[in-house]
């Protein structure tokens, strides 16, 4: 009996100690969000947001889409390991959205599609907030994309992209200024990037696609890379998250045809730009209002104000943002359910 009571006491003591350790870890986690303490701990956080918009009309005098529905989901999280003078950080951003309408037989149309993963390992310089850091980044998408401005996109589907086409792999070494999980400024003068794409896409144009030469399926780039991330709690209910990525390809040059004529201009001054912004406001325990805007400029992804219709004639695109030129823009407003962890 005494052995049984002793065993129960040891188990309860072990459970109490485990609970205390978890509480201590939570306290450390909160303090490390905005500072870099010399400690060993796991730090994680992020959110999942799911939104649904639905509409139905019948004999509606003002007119409109009879039945419509939009479903989208966003995941953003980080998982970090702090080891005294070293830090291993991982950030994953995923998003996907589909729109269904009665007028096109509920054929799904994408409104969002993104995979973006970054992993960094850095060693602190003395006791400062500066780190010597190695970075790996991967970008791609989940499914095929189409140009819905084309009149025959669904009858003769010709995708503009798909999973791993394109896929961007970046490996860089440089210096990073880091303040907890809220601020990171990384700069590398030596950054290699590999672009992968199916030959189906590069063979359709004499200039290739996504920076890959015509008829090929990969292209190597070497240049300088900057990545800045900032997260701020505006209030107990509002959070703002922003990111700026810049990449300059040292070996970029004009593309020429067999006769030596320049068919596409390019140089290291054509800097790739990714500017990401995400604002969220907590309306209730689970209901959140989110507003996002992403701006991308890539010289390897041109834009044309015209397209070809079913008769083969060149016509102007029905695009409200056509005056933005080569700048890629994604903007969304969503009311949905959000879970933070």
Is residue 159 located within the same domain as residue 22?
A: no
State whether 180 and 241 are in the same domain: yes
Cα atoms in the 13 Å half-sphere on the side-chain side of 236: 2
pLDDT per 10-residue tile (average), the chain, 341 residues: 39 33 48 68 85 86 89 91 88 95 91 96 91 98 89 77 97 94 94 97 88 93 97 91 97 80 86 95 86 93 76 74 86 84 80
* Per-residue confidence (pLDDT) for residue 176, from 0 to 100: 97
pTM of the predicted model, to two decimals?
Answer: 0.85
Angstrom CA distances, 331 to 58, 77, 146, 296, stand at: 30, 20, 18, 12
> Are 14 and 149 found together in one domain?
no
Tally of CA atoms within 13 A in the half-sphere of 301 that contains its CB: 16
**Shared-domain flag, residues 109 and 194:** yes
CA distance 237 to 272: 34
The answer on 125 and 11 residing in a single domain is no
Using CA atoms of 30, 31, 36, 40 in order, give the dihedral in degrees to the nearest 10.
-70
* Domain CATH for 88: 2.40.230
**Domain boundaries, position 177:** 39-340
On whether both 215 and 323 belong to a single domain, the answer is yes
Same domain, residue pair 138 and 269: yes
Dump pLDDT digits (tens) for 30-41. 666 667 766 788
End-to-end CA distance of the chain: 43
Q: Same domain, yes or no, for 23 and 43?
A: no
Containing 20, the helix (H) or strand (E) segment is helix 2-32
For position 16, what pLDDT does the model report?
30
Name the strand (E) or helix (H) holding 224. Answer: strand 218-233
pLDDT of residue 137: 98
**Does one domain contain both 191 and 256?**
yes
- Check residue 335 and give its pLDDT: 83
3 and 111 assigned to the same domain? no
What was the pLDDT predicted at 17? 32
Q: What's the structural domain count of the chain?
A: 2
């Amino acid at each position: 009996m005494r052995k049984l009571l002793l065993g129960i006491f040891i188990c309860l003591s072990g459970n109490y100690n485990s609970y205390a350790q978890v509480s201590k870890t939570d306290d450390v986690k909160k303090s490390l969000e905005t500072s870099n303490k010399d400690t060993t701990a796991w730090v994680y956080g992020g959110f999942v947001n799911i939104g649904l918009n639905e509409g139905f009309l019948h004999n509606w005098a003002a007119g409109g889409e009879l039945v419509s529905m939009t479903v989208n989901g966003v995941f953003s999280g980080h998982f970090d390991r702090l080891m005294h003078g070293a830090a291993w950080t991982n950030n994953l951003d995923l998003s996907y959205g589909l729109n269904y309408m009665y007028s096109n037989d509920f054929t799904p149309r994408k409104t969002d599609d993104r995979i973006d993963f970054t992993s960094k390992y850095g060693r602190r310089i003395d006791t400062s907030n500066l780190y010597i850091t190695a970075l790996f980044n991967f970008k791609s998408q989940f499914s095929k994309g189409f140009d819905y401005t084309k009149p025959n996109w669904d009858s003769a589907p010709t995708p503009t992209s798909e999973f791993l086409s394109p896929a961007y792999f970046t490996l860089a070494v440089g210096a990073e200024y880091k303040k907890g999980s809220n601020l990171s400024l990384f700069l590398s003068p030596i950054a290699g990037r590999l672009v992968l794409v199916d030959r189906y896409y590069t063979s359709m144009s004499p200039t290739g696609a996504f920076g890959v030469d015509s008829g090929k399926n990969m292209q190597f780039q070497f240049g300088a890379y900057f990545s800045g991330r900032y997260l701020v709690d505006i209030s107990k209910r509002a959070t703002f998250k922003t990111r700026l990525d810049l990449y300059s390809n040292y070996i970029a040059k004009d593309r020429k045809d067999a006769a030596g004529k320049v068919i596409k201009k390019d140089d290291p001054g054509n800097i790739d730009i990714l500017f990401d912004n995400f604002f969220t406001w907590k309306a209730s325990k689970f209901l959140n209002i989110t507003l996002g805007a992403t701006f991308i400029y890539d010289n390897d992804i041109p834009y044309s104000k015209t397209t070809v219709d079913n008769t083969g004639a060149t016509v102007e695109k029905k695009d409200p943002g056509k005056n933005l030129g080569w700048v890629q823009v994604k903007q969304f407003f969503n009311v949905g359910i959000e879970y933070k962890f």
